[in-house]
Amino acid sequence: MRSNLTTAIFPVAGLGTRFLPATKAVPKEMLPVVDKPLLQWAVEEAAEAGCTRFVFVTSRDKAAIGKHFSPAPQYEDTLKARGKTNELALLKAGLPDGAEIIEVYQDEPLGLGHAIWCAKEAVGAAPFAVILPDDMVLHTTGCLAQMVDAHARLGGNLVAVENVPADQTHRYGVVDPASEAEGLVAIQGLVEKPEPAQAPSTLAVIGRYIFDAEIMQTLSRTIAAGESGAGGEIQITDAMSQLITQLPLHGLRFQGTRFDCGNQDGFLQANVAYALAQARKNGDTSLQSKLRHLLD
Ligand code: UTP
């Protein structure tokens, strides 16, 4: 089965309260890890996986996001005049040639399921990816590219999963695994943010998904019925659970190290780890040893 995946959705309409006051004027997704905003890293991961349509579910207070991915004639003219070709290329903000950018608005942050549903018209009938930019995965092959390979074989719905400490299950959607082979977990149920005692496992869903377009119908029914899930939000976990009887749901144990950049610890660690990866790539041994020192 071919995956046929060209569209990636980036839900970026949240309030980013854990990063106040940094996020009062600057969207959380625009905070830089080393030299690029979180959201650009996510866009580059989607482009590497073959996506050409980039759908931002954003809020009207976050104009900086649209601006970052738009042409910038004021810089282009100056950089061209100065012959700064490298800097000119950077203005593309990681977008591949011919990329289609779509912005849709979520007027209120009613939850991740609701944010994804806001992109319904932009998605159509084909499978699509969702990347949460505040979850970063460092690996030579991007997490989404790994998932695209698996999805091409499996179809249905696919999420990225990893084990989390037992006392952290209340922060994640947690999987009830039926079976597992070669890093792929067949999932028979999901619980959103369970307390450790109620968690079906310690295998948590992280911010990478590939969905069949049918998930939008499930979300539409939930929203029309006025139902909400954990924390009073419209949760994508609930929609995935409801679809399990119709479509297979798998979890991929991805290769790489995940950083939860939605909190300060993870964000700081990501900065050091990505800087180290970049220094290795550039053969900058002096910076590598300084950064390793920091990690000790
Ligand atoms: P988070 O829950 O990590 O982001 O959502 P947040 O709510 O902005 O952060 P805090 O908890 O207040 O600090 C993960 C991703 O989903 C988006 C967020 O923008 C983030 O990229 N999101 C979340 C939405 O787009 N809409 C929502 O209703 C909720």
Q: For residue 225, what is the domain's CATH number? A: 3.90.550.10
Task: Report if residue 2 sits inside a domain.
Answer: no
pLDDT, tens only, 9-28: 999 999 999 999 999 999 99
Q: Which pLDDT value is given to residue 2?
A: 47
Q: Do 212 and 83 reside in the same domain of the chain?
A: yes
pLDDT, tens only, 51-66: 999 999 999 999 999 9
Span of 102-111, 184-193, 223-232, 244-253 with lowest mean pLDDT: 223-232
Task: Report if residue 1 sits inside a domain.
Answer: no
Nearest-angstrom CA–CA distance, 186 and 174:
13
Q: Do 31 and 156 reside in the same domain of the chain?
A: yes
Q: Do 128 and 267 reside in the same domain of the chain?
A: no
Span of 105-114, 117-126, 131-140, 227-236 with lowest mean pLDDT: 227-236
Task: Report if residue 51 sits inside a domain.
Answer: yes
Read off the amino acid at residue 285. Answer: T
Average pLDDT over residues 118-137: 96
Q: Which pLDDT value is given to residue 3?
A: 57
CA of 182 to the centre of ligand 1 (A): 32
Q: Which pLDDT value is given to residue 296?
A: 74
Q: Do 271 and 258 reside in the same domain of the chain?
A: no
> pTM for the whole thing?
0.96
Judged against a pLDDT cut of 50, whether residue 283 lies above it is answered with yes
Average pLDDT over residues 66-79: 93
Residue with the nearest Cα to atom 10 of ligand 1? 16
Average pLDDT over residues 201-209: 98
Judged against a pLDDT cut of 60, whether residue 132 lies above it is answered with yes
Q: Do 274 and 250 reside in the same domain of the chain?
A: no
Number of folded domains that form the chain: 2
Q: Do 83 and 165 reside in the same domain of the chain?
A: yes
Q: Do 153 and 294 reside in the same domain of the chain?
A: no
Q: Do 253 and 270 reside in the same domain of the chain?
A: no
Q: What are the tokens at 126?
A: 């084909």
> In percent, how much of the chain has pLDDT > 70?
99
Average pLDDT over residues 256-274: 96
Q: Which pLDDT value is given to residue 1?
A: 46
Q: Which pLDDT value is given to residue 120?
A: 97
Q: What is the position in ligand 1's atom list of the atom closest to the CA of 11?
A: 25
Q: Do 296 and 234 reside in the same domain of the chain?
A: no
Q: What is the DSSP string of 120-177?
A: HHHHTTS-EEEE-TTEEEE-SS-HHHHHHHHHHHH-SEEEEEEE--GGGGGGSEEEEE
Domain region containing 230 = 7-262
Residue 260 beta carbon below 6 angstroms from any ligand 1 atom:
no
CA of 187 to the centre of ligand 1 (A): 25
Q: Do 41 and 94 reside in the same domain of the chain?
A: yes
Residue with the nearest Cα to atom 22 of ligand 1? 14
Q: Do 213 and 279 reside in the same domain of the chain?
A: no
Nearest-angstrom CA–CA distance, 282 and 279:
5
CA of 130 to the centre of ligand 1 (A): 13
- Give me the chain's average pLDDT, please: 95
Residue 106 beta carbon below 6 angstroms from any ligand 1 atom:
yes
Nearest-angstrom CA–CA distance, 160 and 207:
7
Q: CA dihedral in degrees (275, 277, 279, 282; nearest 10)?
A: -130
Indicate if the alpha-carbon torsion angle 90, 138, 106, 35 is positive or negative: negative
